[in-house]
Amino acid sequence: MTLRDFISMGGYGPFVWSCYALTLAVLVWIGLSSRRQLAAELVRARRRAQVSLDRAAAGPDITEK
């Protein structure tokens, strides 16, 4: 089997390869977007944690009821 045969897939090349490309794209998207959401949520959580730790370090806040 030559490379050309492999790519042409007996004439079904465009159908076969577009399906594989689409699948790869969706899998990569699912993985990356989930990773990015986690990273973004961690940044948010860290910022919030820092604020509450700072507040605790500053002692009781009498301006808040």
What residue ranges bind another protein (CB under 8 A)?
Answer: 1, 6, 9-12, 15-16, 18-20, 22-23, 26-27, 29-31, 34-35, 37-38, 41-42, 44-46, 48-50, 52-53
Query: Based on CB atoms, which residue is closest to another protein, 15 or 64?
Result: 15
Count of H-run helices and E-run strands, the chain: 2, 0
Rounded-to-5 percentages of helix, strand, coil across the chain: 85, 0, 15
Contacts of 28 (CB under 8 A, 6+ apart): none
CB 63 to another protein: min, Å:
20
CB 35 to another protein: min, Å:
6
